[in-house]
Amino acid sequence: MKSPVRAFTTLVACWMTAAAAGAERTFDLTTETVGKPPRGWRSTLAGTGSPGDWHVVLDDAPTLFAPFSTNAPATRKIPVIAQLSQDPTDERFPLLVYDNEVYRDFTLSLRFKTVAGKVEQMAGVVFRLQDERNFYVVRASSLGRNLRFYRVAEGVRDQPLGPTLEIPLGTWHQLSVECRGNRIRLRLDDKDAMPEITDNSYLEGKIGLWTKSDAVSHFTDIRVNFTPREPQARALVRDVLQRYPRIKAIRVFSTTSQRPDLHVIAADDDRHLGQPGGKYEKQCIDQNLPLAGASGKIAIVTYPLQDRNGDPIAAVRLELERRKGQSNAEAVARARPILQRMQAQVTSLKDLSE
């Protein structure tokens, strides 16, 4: 039978491996209904004018392999996401945002094609999007013969960066965006499109598709390789278990946007995740005060975590080996350095729980 210390060490190692592992999300448009918007994406608008008209349509795309004979077709019909409306408003930027995930470090790749437009013939992507007024964008223009990157902050565009080059209308192009910390790398058709960009404005956010004015554009083969985001509470628990391996148990109780009742959001044992909070955890948060008690040879300290404004947002239940003759006040004193270490890293409920 494993000792408690070895069991916790093994659990910590598993968490570290999972946190370091990458993940991939591929948007399979073959499961979507032609003529309808893709599921999980939200049509919205930056700037002025009418919203975009985003639907899945069938389009010709080159075959992945060379045909076996000269009579075999060189293209195939595949489902793509298309922006079809042609409102010519100048400062109109239809967006299609993927709402189900926030990405920090990632590589987004896709193929795009500019199809039509009298005022503009553009296609691009937004990334690390906070809302419709704050995001990064990289877009290609067939009419302007250029690729441009810029930041939008409070609805105002920065000076664009990027080269002049040909973006033929009606041709599929490969675009990729790589974000690592504050570094941004952009590639077009498997070539570096411009020097690496460094910007600290947005370190995480959503991704989306972008067009301008009356541009009709198509997108497909959308794929995101990313480092999964870990709720801060789980990182804090992992840190505590590494530094204080003799802790018997630890659980963090709080709320999330998806579940507003008090429940376990991080623990030394994943089997406790989601369990509802009890009266002591609620009392700890309501009164913003530590509580202490005992169960046999275990001392139990329940301690509040506060946001940057000093408001209680979570309760940490810490179980320690109870020393002979130890009072509740002494148990709180033993636990305080551990909890203060956690508190020093907490700023908001959103960062802690989501």
Residues in the chain: 354
pLDDT at site 229? 75
Average confidence score pLDDT of the chain: 90
Average pLDDT over residues 318-343: 93
Count the neighbouring beta carbons within 10 Å of the beta carbon of residue 335: 24
Average pLDDT over residues 301-323: 95
pLDDT at site 21? 52
- Structural domains in the chain plus CATH codes: 4-17+230-353 (3.30.450.40), 23-226 (2.60.120.560)
CA dist 349 and 354 (Å) reads 8
Residue 152 pLDDT greater than 80, yes or no: yes
Residue 315 pLDDT greater than 50, yes or no: yes
110 close to 210: Cβ distance less than 8 angstroms: no
Average pLDDT over residues 132-155: 97
Q: Is the pTM of this model over 0.85?
A: no
State pLDDT tens for residues 40-64: 899 999 999 999 999 999 999 876 5
CA dist 122 and 96 (Å) reads 14
CA dist 269 and 10 (Å) reads 11
Nearest C-alpha neighbor of 177 from the set 113, 79, 105, 121: 105
Residue 73 pLDDT greater than 80, yes or no: no
pLDDT at site 64? 54
Residues 6+ apart with CB under 8 A from 187: 174, 175, 176, 178, 193
pLDDT at site 231? 83
pLDDT at site 115? 98
Count the neighbouring beta carbons within 10 Å of the beta carbon of residue 90: 11
* Buried/exposed 233-263: b ≥16 CB within 10 Å, e otherwise: bbbbbbebbeebeebbbbbbbbbbeeeeebb
